[in-house]
Structure 1
């Protein structure tokens, strides 16, 4: 797999790991004692460089894509089940963090539900659990669009299905779709990060306005990133709600000028620190490149052997 995959996957996993020790801490706490480096222990009492459910599900998806050469929903769900039940794709064979909606979907699947009928469909099923793991799907679909001339409809249908395995409400599917357009623009286009991300947003809104109607209004705050960039920090929420997570990640990307700065800004927002830093880190890794992720952080990551084995 090429350097874009390595940059994005490491970017996500390292962001996750920087956020893990302070997950669920308040923004006020982070103002008093800001995170300035990769640390350990804290919320889950895990050693430095430990990544959580975000990265485990990314690696499970990556392993499936590598082995199958395509998106195989059942195979991905089988791997999610192995992670949830047996600690596969974790640093220490132990699952210490899992979202309620994700857990419920995997249990439903284990009880016989079809992969695409496992995720919750209600308004209350819009956590960030599919957005946090969608990056490998985005990268795979980007390559397929290039090689096979997949239409946006075909590409987005696959991305929406991958969300639906755990989060089937249209708002969650759309967050994954918007992320795809952002990743695609960052890879394909030239210019500063704000310019590239704005192209992604423009393409996403154009697509969803034609295909999904009013639900896109949930994301209206990010229509103009040049305006959104200037929203004060106190008006950026860092919760596990999928809209808040996507907004927070974008805000961090727009208001920083390096991978390191983007991750620290995401983590110091507090609350759902690991996922917001992971979502931020995937895009930041691709934009700034693997070589611009701090060497110290790369060296501190647990189970690099597992990560490297899936990036060959």
Structure 2
């Protein structure tokens, strides 16, 4: 799903949630971007959201007389605004929203406000709980800060959120996520209740515990995450996003890098993310007109023992470049979302055989419609059919 998300950001040169859902659907139905050529181990929340997306597509095609062979390639911004991409509901807070996150903060790293809001929205389209939205926002902020050069001590500091609140606009974090941001994970692991569960709050805490305790070693952190048990692959994938952003590619164990499936393709896609993301700017503004945020790498060391950290040095005329409420017209305000009744609905149940035949869609219309050419796939549609010799760790 991370590869699907990365491909969407590159091919569409920005955040287009409809296109993201289309690619997730391709993965679910046809194995798009899968290392095995088929979908496997999909979470129940993700499956249900994608099925709801398909149902909405069918109704949308009928209402607007869209030919079915063009339905996955819509490009008219005004038409896309009419499609409700939020295919989940309150109470759905599985870790599947967080495990695929990294491409978003990596793409928008130059614009923290947008990076954080889009991080939250990227999870919200399939996991509709406040906690999922805010877990993705907070983790996206950590990745943005890491890519922009902030040291690990600053990332795990208990006041990281307080010192970066300008990035979060007028939407405070959910109390459960704020509790983690204030350092709830900084304790002895399993014996003190750290668990790599399918519930997104537990998964976030477990991944941050692994990062906090890894002694600067990516390998040690991955093994710590896996050894927590439960949803091991997802906990390790969440850990790997932040650890990779902080430590860099060169710190990844060579023996693991050699085992990554489609390594050259992933490296190429990563370069495309950097290229397109570097040239992206908020709609309607030129890069030169956007208020800058300067990341002061030395400030943390200068004030490590101070009660008042000065991680960011902002220019005097700093303003939020774009209101976060304008980033996605179909997103509900975080303040208006209700909390889930309990955590039972947040677990990520799994099934090994989940591929189902695509639903036949019916339409009587074949009117011309503006589409994205099929060549949009050229950044990553190759199917890898050869059998894999082994699998160890894949981090995106």
Contact 2:35 2:261 survives alignment (8 Å): yes
Give the corresponding residue for 1:233: 190
Equivalent in 90, 98, 104 of residue 122 of structure 1: 90
Q: How does 1:1-312 map to 2 (within 5 A)?
A: 57-112=1-56, 114=83, 116-118=85-87, 120-123=88-91, 125-143=92-110, 145=111, 152=113, 154-191=114-151, 193-198=152-157, 200-203=160-163, 211-212=170-171, 216-225=174-183, 228-234=185-191, 235-257=193-215, 258-312=217-271
C-alpha distance in structure 1 between counterparts of 2:86 and 2:180, whole Å? 30
1:92 counterpart SS class: coil
C-alpha distance in structure 2 between counterparts of 1:166 and 1:173, whole Å? 10
2:134 counterpart SS class: helix
In structure 1, runs of 5+ residues without a counterpart are 1-56
C-alpha distance in structure 2 between counterparts of 1:156 and 1:287, whole Å? 17
1:59 counterpart SS class: helix
2:35 counterpart SS class: coil
In structure 2, runs of 5+ residues without a counterpart are 58-82, 272-396
Contact 1:252 1:280 survives alignment (8 Å): yes
Contact 2:130 2:174 survives alignment (8 Å): no
Deviation of residue 206 (structure 1)? 7.3
What is the TM-score with the length of structure 1 in the denominator?
0.72
Contact 1:237 1:244 survives alignment (8 Å): yes
Give the corresponding residue for 2:302: none
C-alpha distance in structure 1 between counterparts of 2:54 and 2:162, whole Å? 39
Change (3 A) 1:288 1:74: same
Output the aligned Cα RMSD: 2.2
Deviation of residue 205 (structure 1)? 6.4
C-alpha distance in structure 2 between counterparts of 1:202 and 1:233, whole Å? 28
C-alpha distance in structure 2 between counterparts of 1:127 and 1:95, whole Å? 18
C-alpha distance in structure 2 between counterparts of 1:305 and 1:176, whole Å? 28
C-alpha distance in structure 1 between counterparts of 2:12 and 2:138, whole Å? 25
Contact 2:123 2:133 survives alignment (8 Å): yes
Change (3 A) 1:245 1:233: same
Question: C-alpha deviations, 1:129-153, integer Å up to 9, x for none?
Answer: 111111111112223x1xxxx7x3x
Question: C-alpha deviations, 1:39-84, integer Å up to 9, x for none?
Answer: xxxxxxxxxxxxxxxxxx1000111111111111111111111000
Count of residue correspondences: 243
Larger Rg over CA atoms: 2
Question: C-alpha deviations, 1:274-305, integer Å up to 9, x for none?
Answer: 11100100111121111111111111112224
C-alpha distance in structure 2 between counterparts of 1:69 and 1:130, whole Å? 21
Change (3 A) 1:270 1:115: farther
Question: C-alpha deviations, 1:168-191, integer Å up to 9, x for none?
Answer: 211100000001111122223443
